[in-house]
Structure 1
Amino acid sequence: MPAIPNDLLDRIRRLEDAVRVLAGRANIRPALDEILAGRVRIGEGGTLWVEAPSGEPVLATGLYDAGKYGLYVGRSDGSGAAMVVGGEEAGVRQMIRLFPRPAGHEAIVMDDANDDGWLGRPWIPLPLPVSVFGTDWPSTTGGSWGAVSRSHAPRQHSHIVVFGSAYCDAGTTGQMRLVINGTPVGPTVSVPSGGFANLDWRGPLGAGAWGDLLTIEVQCQRTTGGGQVYAILRELFGVNSS
């Protein structure tokens, strides 16, 4: 038997050890239920689909049948889509649409498919035009605060924007304010004799919950003289907090 150098035998043993390690690692499967770093890429028309145990789709993103890429968010109780991006017909521009329960209802919130930057639904009322003549507005001769007009509305925002006007007969001065659920909101406006003043304010409504019924009053009082104090709102709507 020929003499084999010891260093060569050692190298062969190390190679055998390395092969065993590689063979063992090749049989170890990576975890298939978590991603700890990096990203998941789905391309070439692929789709990510997540469904509830009942089989209801709750999330799908990828290629729609109409050839658009988009997103579907559904409700696991079977009441249909909650939000859809890109599920329109092929000839309609891509929109964001929110849907109510149950399934089959039309979208209640969406952007405009034809005009960029605009809301499609819901349709929001605009203030109705009012008389430009102060003497046609609701009025009072009372020397203490009292309502000259009143309305009711469900609360939907934390803040409001209000614009109103007041007018006093010659020789009379007065004040105007907005009161919601019995609490004055915004500034009190002083109205000069024979002149106009405006209530122009944006600010918080205070504590409350969405859907609370608001009782909205325009209140006036006469401070001097013997004539009428007139007031009307031209604008009142809910807004975001900033």
Structure 2
Amino acid sequence: MTLDQWRRGAGTALSFTTFGLGGVIIGVVIAPLLFVLVPATELRRRWMRRLIQLAFRAFIGLMRSVGVLRYEMENIDLLQRPGLLILANHPSLIDVIFLVAYTRHADCIVNGALAHNPFTRGPIKAAGYITNKDPETVLAAAKASMARGNSLILFPEGTRTAPGGQVHCRRGGANIALRTGTSITPVLILCEPVTLTKGEPWYHIPEKQIHIKLKVMEDLRVEQDEQKPPRQQAVELTRWLNDYFNKELEQFRHERDTRPVAGNKAHDYRHSGA
């Protein structure tokens, strides 16, 4: 490795060690205190989510200050609106950190395995994040969470995007949008060079500094078609979302004009079978 890679490797080790210790402190010390001091469940969850948000912002700041990464964010203020259904592609391990750090009252659908991880189980339980064990339970919990003004973050692929591959959404995001009647707020994420993908250890340091680009897109309004069964609608919407994400990501990779897009007009998804 080059001297710069060794330097960024040390910064990466420091960043992830700090992240792990922070998770343990929140889970072992702060979460139990909140359970005792704040008996109201929803208020306790709001406080914990705010703490996690601030911790994630500090983590991003640490990674930037030690030279691990740099980042650009476009239209990020749109994530401050209440009750959003945020769908994003998932190129790297740290995508969720950026989304939670800059989304107001962020709720998440997380992998059930994280609820048993010693570094994440405490914060997940205290924050009341939704685990993906039972699809029907997830739908009900997602609807209730957004009704309380939380914004739900979901990676519709269910896993990290394969390097250089296409986005392949599962039906979970489409089902939630259709069942709740909520517009979709898409977020495009690029990670260059590709790193922290599924199965890649943190100590594989890329040749260049990580550059994260995040862009919040215009809302996609979703309406149910009573003439079609729910499963067919979910299949069609999922297929449409695949095309949408792949097309917009390709354009995002090549665009040169990075000026913020004015406004946030709603687009319609129509059940045309496309």
Please give the TM-score of this superposition, normalised by the length of structure 1.
0.25
Decide which structure has greater strand share: 1
Larger relative CO (CA 8 A, sep 6+): 1 or 2? 2
Decide which structure has greater helix share: 2
